[in-house]
């Protein structure tokens, strides 16, 4: 079995490395939209977490379960409500928030079932997207890899700033925030976030409830 | 053996019948409930009673590699063939065998005939010790839970504390769920396939059609046909025909038969079996009668109808799974309309609500309920991986049970 870090799919998801770093060892983790289970497998092997996953496709679930991971075929927007409060130390949502019908409600759900949430998003405020809209006059793809605006899964594009404002309005504490630049490297923009919102292509947030 | 086509108990194709010598050996049988009878849900007591079973593979030294396979309504303990009556292949040859998903080189597979069955375990066709005649309708009503209690007694007899897994499809899946709630500590993993936590109104309705067909046959003689040496052949065959339709999807029926005619160029303007699908169903009915008892069919369908796991927990299914340590792998089939995915999903919901360790996959297949018996590579891949991962946790070594004892050559205390 190849380890997650050597998988070609791992390099396509630079946010996963950052997410993995935010997870404390020997914790309980729920990965929503876990795909073929790369992150869960890594967390299980390297951090000894008790991991669970939710994945919408049969292919993804089969890939996960056949590697010994506990994953259910389901949908974040309908199946998250079944879990009891605080069942997990971390609820992880990687790059799927803009694809949800109700991202705001799901964000709250993440922090209901998890003590903390780790959320990664593609940043719609990235400078290239801004310039594309400005000069081309067309809607940028914003990391969804779709063929056009008409079939993008990103129903609710948001920028890093949008996300920060939403968290503030919901009383969600951003414990950590890391941006990834166009090459997938972590950057350390501080301050008000204006730079981060311009030059971060993706961002990863460690969230907790305002207690 | 590996290239044999399956002859499933719920769909057994005549075309796929394997010619082989009829084996009169009924496998292993043990007398249970000698010291203490089995107290049934109906409060009747049963015992001592016979329990027939088969084993495949070898039990390892620390007895950690045992898997209990629970058979479906019309199945039996003969997972692998040849079947002692029909001479055909077993009902789950796709799943079980050396190198298969349920690898008999690695696991010790146990399958017993259910309580109320007609392949050696006590059932309504057996002699009632208090009258000296066959039970007929004097046989006590049994439930899925009673079946599981009897299986637990068998495990006690085999001196196996904990099963590595309990696996079954359809009614077998119901037994799996009952196992995981009654004896969670005895199930390291549980795999309910194409099952449900309760019988729906539609499920009960179809069963009632089957039962009424049997009871409407004058040869049934109020259940006393064995005394008068008759048999409700027509009633049981019709019950099987009706049941068989529910095991298949419309797509599967259409692909197999469409409107094709049977051995004729045009319709007969009569009530012969003009269509292939009619001929097929009639054959299913007739061949079923050869190996199944009509009263057993009544009792076992009734047990399924009574099944409602949530009922004994105040109607809340999640309570049934409170504090289970068992790891679950729930599997459903997209085209199964008899036990649809929504039923499996209810189970998964309940398990999630107590944060149980559960995996769930819906296998894409257009073959209907019976797909769980057929060659479905995705199902094998998913389940095989689940078991391999769990085996690692349980410390079951690959090839630990190298010596293979097919047909239970190594089973303790076995007799014919």
Q: Render pLDDT for B180-228 as a digit per residue (tens, 0 to 9).
A: 999 999 999 999 999 999 999 999 999 999 999 999 999 999 999 988 8
Domain B14-200+312-408: give its CATH code.
3.40.50.1820
> B180 in contact with A at a CB cutoff of 8 Å?
no
What are the residues whose beta carbons fall under 8 Å from the beta carbon of A170, sequence distance 6 or more? A104, A107, A108
Name the minimum distance, in Å, from the CA of A195 to any CA of chain B. 41
Whole-number pLDDT of residue B19: 30
- Give dist(CA B92, CA B371) in Å, integer: 11
E strands present in B23-178: 28-32, 38-39, 45-46, 49-56, 66-70, 96-97, 102-103, 108-112, 163-169
H or E element: which one contains A205?
strand A202-209
Give B34-66 pLDDT, tens digit per residue: 999 999 999 999 989 999 999 999 999 999 999
* Cβ atoms of residues B214 and B351 within 8 Å: no
Rounded distance, CA B300 to CA B176, Å?
16
pLDDT score recorded for residue B25: 59
Report the residue of B188, B326, B361, B379 to disrupt the A interface, i.e. the one with the largest count of A CBs within 10 Å. Answer: B361
Average pLDDT of span B389-406: 69
CB pairs under 8 A between A and B: 73
Split at pLDDT 50, 70, 90, the class of A188 is: confident
Q: For residues B44 and B36, what is the distance between their CA atoms, to the nearest angstrom?
A: 13
Q: Given an 8 Å threshold on Cβ–Cβ distance, is B358 in contact with A74?
A: no
CATH number of residue A173's parent domain:
3.40.50.150
Residue B21 near residue B70 (C-beta atoms within 8 A): no
- Exposed / middle / buried, residue B363 (Cβ in 10 Å: 0-12, 13-18, 19+): buried
- Domain count along chain A: 1
What residues does each domain of chain B span? 14-200+312-408
The pLDDT value given to residue B26:
67
**Which one of B348, B361, B388 has the shortest CB-CB distance to A68?**
B388
- Is the pLDDT at B338 greater than 50? The verdict is yes
Residue B387: both structure tokens together: 């078991």
Residues 6+ apart with CB under 8 A from A134: none
**Is position B415 annotated as part of the catalytic site?**
no
Q: Determine the distance in angstroms separating the CA of A210 from the nearest CA of chain B, rounded to an integer.
A: 24
Question: Which residue(s) pair with A92 in the sheet?
Answer: A31, A118
Average pLDDT over residues A59-67: 92
Mark yes or no for CB contact B386/A73 under 8 Å. no
Mean pLDDT, chain A, rounded, equals 91
Instruction: Tell me if chain A has a CB within 8 Å of the CB of B358.
Output: yes
User: Please, is A108 exposed, middle or buried when counting C-beta atoms within 10 Å of its C-beta (0-12, 13-18, 19+)?
Assistant: middle
Distances (CA, A) of A196 to A168, B90, B243: 17, 64, 64
Residue B170 has a pLDDT of 98
Count of beta carbons in the 10 Å neighbourhood of residue A50: 16
pLDDT at residue number B122: 97
**pLDDT above 60 (res B115):** yes
Specify burial of residue B323 (Cβ count, 10 A radius: 0-12, 13-18, 19+): exposed
CA distance B313 to B320: 6
Structure tokens at B141: 């009503």
Which residue in the block uniquely carries the two structure tokens 């993995």?
A20
pLDDT digits (tens, 9 = 90+) for A137-177: 999 888 767 788 888 888 999 999 999 999 999 999 999 99
Range of the domain at A15: 4-209
Q: Do A66 and B385 touch (CB under 8 A)?
A: yes
Identify the active-site residue in B29, B170, B332, B359.
B170
């Amino acid at each position: 079995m190849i380890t997650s870090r050597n998988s070609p799919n791992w390099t396509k998801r630079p946010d996963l490395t950052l997410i993995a770093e935010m997870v404390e060892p020997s914790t309980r983790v729920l990965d929503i939209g876990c795909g073929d289970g790369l992150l869960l497998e890594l967390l299980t092997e390297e951090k000894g977490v008790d991991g669970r996953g939710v994945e919408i496709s049969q292919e993804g679930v089969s890939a996960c379960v056949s590697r010994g991971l506990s994953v259910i075929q389901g949908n974040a927007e309908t199946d998250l409500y079944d879990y009891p409060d605080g069942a997990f130390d971390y609820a992880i949502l990687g790059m799927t928030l803009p694809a949800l019908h109700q991202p705001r409600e799901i964000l709250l759900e993440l922090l209901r079932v998890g003590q903390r949430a780790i959320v990664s998003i593609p940043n719609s405020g990235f400078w290239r997207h801004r310039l594309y809209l400005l000069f081309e006059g067309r809607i940028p793809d914003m990391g969804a890899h779709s063929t056009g605006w008409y079939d993008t899964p990103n129903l609710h594009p948001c920028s890093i700033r949008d996300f920060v404002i939403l968290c503030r309005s919901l009383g969600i504490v951003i414990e950590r925030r890391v941006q990834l630049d166009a090459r997938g490297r972590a950057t350390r923009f501080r301050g008000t976030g204006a730079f981060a919102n311009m030059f971060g292509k993706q961002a990863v947030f460690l969230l907790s409830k305002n207690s | 053996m590996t290239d044999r086509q399956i002859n499933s108990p719920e769909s057994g194709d005549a075309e796929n019948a394997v010619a082989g010598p009829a084996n009169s050996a009924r496998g292993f049988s043990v007398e249970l409930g000698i010291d203490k009878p089995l107290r049934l849900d109906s409060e009747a007591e049963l015992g001592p009673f016979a329990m027939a079973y088969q084993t495949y593979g070898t039990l390892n030294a620390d007895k950690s590699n045992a898997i209990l396979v629970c058979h479906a309504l019309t199945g039996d303990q003969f997972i692998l063939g040849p079947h002692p009556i029909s001479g055909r292949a077993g009902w789950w040859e796709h799943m079980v065998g050396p190198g298969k998903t349920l690898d008999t080189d690695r696991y010790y597979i146990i399958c017993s005939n259910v309580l109320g069955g007609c392949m050696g375990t006590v059932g309504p066709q057996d002699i009632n010790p208090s009258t000296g005649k066959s039970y007929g309708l004097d046989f006590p009503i049994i439930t899925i839970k009673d079946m599981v209690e009897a299986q637990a007694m068998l495990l006690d007899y085999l001196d196996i504390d904990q099963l590595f897994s309990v696996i079954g499809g359809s009614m077998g899946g119901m037994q799996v769920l009952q196992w995981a709630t009654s004896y969670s500590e005895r199930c390291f993993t549980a795999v309910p396939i194409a099952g449900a936590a309760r019988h729906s109104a539609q499920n009960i309705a179809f069963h009632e059609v089957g039962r009424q067909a049997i009871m409407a046959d004058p040869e049934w003689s109020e259940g006393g046909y064995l005394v008068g040496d008759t048999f409700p052949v027509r009633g049981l065959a019709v019950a099987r025909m009706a049941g068989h339709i529910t095991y298949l999807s419309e797509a599967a029926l259409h692909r197999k038969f469409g409107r094709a005619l049977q051995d004729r160029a045009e319709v007969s303007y009569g009530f012969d079996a003009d269509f292939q699908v009619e001929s097929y169903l009639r054959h299913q009915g007739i061949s079923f009668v050869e190996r199944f008892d009509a009263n057993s069919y009544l009792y076992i369908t009734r047990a399924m109808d009574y099944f409602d796991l949530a009922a004994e927990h105040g109607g809340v299914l999640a309570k049934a799974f409170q504090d289970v340590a068992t790891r679950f792998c729930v599997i459903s089939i997209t085209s199964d309309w008899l036990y649809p995915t929504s039923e499996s999903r209810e189970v998964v919901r309940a398990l999630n609500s107590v944060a149980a360790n559960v995996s769930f996959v819906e296998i894409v297949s257009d073959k209907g309920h019976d797909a769980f018996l057929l060659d479905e590579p995705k199902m094998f891949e998913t389940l095989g991986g689940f078991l391999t991962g769990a085996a690692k946790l349980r410390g079951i070594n690959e090839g630990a049970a190298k010596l293979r004892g097919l047909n239970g050559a190594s089973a303790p205390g076995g007799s014919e």
